[in-house]
Structure 1
């Protein structure tokens, strides 16, 4: 039976939001989808909206019990604007706060904010993963804007009766994923030798979109989620070499990796001014999700291997079309 109240959310046309809309458990709720343009899903109530610092949402929050904010100005590798920090702060901080203020004023009980592990920082030391209560150490415009949004939302929650839930995903992958994960999977699918054989000592935390969606749904009603920050991953950290091996296995391709020393990567990074790219490839970014699991009694329903297989199947299907 559907709830008497609505669950509102932004980002329905994005990677995470699309996966959320496809989830059968999520579709048991009455949904208000906040979008700029109407989407072809007539069973839900669509609200025309814009993610802008001064946008007036009018009565859009009427009867909304919980609101999930996913939409954002995303992180991109190659910025095309002159001032990416100002652009990120406008959308990810000021517009988010505007949205949350109007939600609180309308009586929304819980605001779930999908933030980012970039609030914690860009890299972690081996054996010293990021934790939910670490001091914020964002580096790039996207991470800074998400950090500022979290701080502003905490202040708003203290001044209102609206509960705040913050979820910080690591790198999210799954069917339809784009960017670096898709590029690497495309390389692996060719079955050619790749130069990652020596990158075995770093550790990366990833999260399948299936696991992230499951956590978001858990946080809609869970009483212990109120005013908490949760890190989320597959709870299975892997090196770059292991990522390539798991991708190859999921794609049913050979995993041939050449033992190129890491110092070669670092030298190339300095020569071509790509040290940040090399650091992402050879460095570590781990998160400790024990607080998430213990507080909510939650564990990722999908293994990393299952997530890679699901992603690989979607990748191969898209390639044949």
Structure 2
């Protein structure tokens, strides 16, 4: 029996990695994205906007689905000025839930949300404990409420990925690797800053295992964070990546100086003649310096062993970047 998988947001970092996994597993993969699919991928692709319900319904009506993985989202965290800038995360989620529940009610569903339903550093006491500090985060909170409301009769899980890194990562993290390779990235003092990051291959493995285990009552209709179970230290991470890139380790910078640079850069970014975003801002430095370590709402009980250890992840990421 052919296993049919529908992945929305297939041209993003997560969607692309999940598509590759399910294709290599021999599944029949369908994809939806605003962008066209690369020609080398043998998938059934629908190029459409998920906020257009008519187009979405028409596409989903044409196919048979065993598993939905919903990754499509507006992910620009700070650029939006209102919820209207994040309709994919609200109206789009509603459209996907409505179409799937009416056309394929027996399909298992995995909905990707975000750790930013709570501000960085805030550790929720339950899955319904929200504390966003951006409009993007608020849009993701609304999306989770929509899933819980419209998919009550279905098997589903909401997954909140933390910071995801590894081969194929976003331009933001490619820039970070570029700074490391040119020795332009400073270490944040000498203190330990633990963070629950997620390596992309481990995230794909966790996701695929959740899909297989979804019928278990304690998993079904719940919320989990996707991250490696052992937090990394952000400074040591930068040092290890630098070593694998073949460059000297970054130079520790006194914390007060970093904050002063970030302050001036943030002010400079407000000037009308500024064309390129500054390398360091107050918010970015706050994100770097804020520790977050998740110990609840994890998948370690169900997926106890992850396939890629830390040092292999470091090596593979550096090798990928050097071959760009």
TM bracket, shorter-chain basis: 0.7 to 0.9
In the other structure, the counterpart of 1:254 is: 248
Question: Which segment is superposed worse, 176-185 or 142-151?
Answer: 176-185
In the other structure, the counterpart of 2:118 is: 120
Change in Cα spacing, 1:204 to 1:16, as seen in structure 2 (3 Å) is same
Answering whether residue 124 of structure 2 is matched by residue 145 of structure 1, we say: no
Answering whether residue 293 of structure 2 is matched by residue 286 of structure 1, we say: yes
Q: Note if contact 2:13-2:169 (Cα within 8 Å) is conserved in structure 1.
A: yes
Change in Cα spacing, 1:33 to 1:300, as seen in structure 2 (3 Å) is same
Change in Cα spacing, 1:176 to 1:43, as seen in structure 2 (3 Å) is closer
Residue correspondence of structure 1 range 1-321 to structure 2 within 5 A: 3-23=1-21, 27-36=25-34, 37-41=36-40, 43-56=42-55, 57-58=57-58, 60-61=60-61, 62-77=63-78, 79=79, 83-88=81-86, 90-108=87-105, 109-124=107-122, 129=123, 133=127, 135-158=129-152, 161-190=153-182, 192=183, 194-196=185-187, 198-222=189-213, 223-224=215-216, 225-258=219-252, 260-273=253-266, 274-288=281-295, 291-294=298-301, 296-318=302-324
CA RMSD of aligned residues (A): 2.4
Q: Note if contact 2:229-2:300 (Cα within 8 Å) is conserved in structure 1.
A: no
Change in Cα spacing, 1:180 to 1:239, as seen in structure 2 (3 Å) is farther
Change in Cα spacing, 1:106 to 1:40, as seen in structure 2 (3 Å) is same
TM-score normalised by L of structure 2: 0.84
For residue 249 of structure 1, report the CA deviation from its aligned partner.
Answer: 2.4
Give me the whole-angstrom Cα distance separating, in 2, the residues matched to 1:18 and 1:301. 19
Q: Note if contact 2:157-2:220 (Cα within 8 Å) is conserved in structure 1.
A: yes
Give me the whole-angstrom Cα distance separating, in 1, the residues matched to 2:132 and 2:175. 25
Change in Cα spacing, 1:291 to 1:184, as seen in structure 2 (3 Å) is closer
Give me the whole-angstrom Cα distance separating, in 1, the residues matched to 2:163 and 2:17. 15
Give me the whole-angstrom Cα distance separating, in 1, the residues matched to 2:244 and 2:31. 34
Change in Cα spacing, 1:276 to 1:58, as seen in structure 2 (3 Å) is same
Change in Cα spacing, 1:156 to 1:290, as seen in structure 2 (3 Å) is closer
Give me the whole-angstrom Cα distance separating, in 1, the residues matched to 2:140 and 2:250. 38
TM-score normalised by L of structure 1: 0.85
Q: Note if contact 1:235-1:289 (Cα within 8 Å) is conserved in structure 2.
A: no
Structure 1's unaligned 5+ residue stretches are none
Q: Give CA-to-partner distance per residue, 1:110-160, whole Å, 9 cap, x none.
A: 221111111122224xxxx556636111111221111110011101122xx
Change in Cα spacing, 1:75 to 1:313, as seen in structure 2 (3 Å) is same
SS at 2:237's partner residue? helix
For residue 25 of structure 1, report the CA deviation from its aligned partner.
Answer: 7.0
For residue 43 of structure 1, report the CA deviation from its aligned partner.
Answer: 3.5
Q: Note if contact 2:70-2:112 (Cα within 8 Å) is conserved in structure 1.
A: yes
Q: Give CA-to-partner distance per residue, 1:139-194, whole Å, 9 cap, x none.
A: 11221111110011101122xx212211111111111213332222112212x375
Q: Note if contact 1:175-1:310 (Cα within 8 Å) is conserved in structure 2.
A: yes
For residue 275 of structure 1, report the CA deviation from its aligned partner.
Answer: 2.1
Q: Give CA-to-partner distance per residue, 1:265-308, whole Å, 9 cap, x none.
A: 233434443321220122213222663111x2333221222212
Change in Cα spacing, 1:253 to 1:42, as seen in structure 2 (3 Å) is closer
For residue 66 of structure 1, report the CA deviation from its aligned partner.
Answer: 1.6
Q: Note if contact 1:7-1:65 (Cα within 8 Å) is conserved in structure 2.
A: yes
Structure 2's unaligned 5+ residue stretches are 267-280
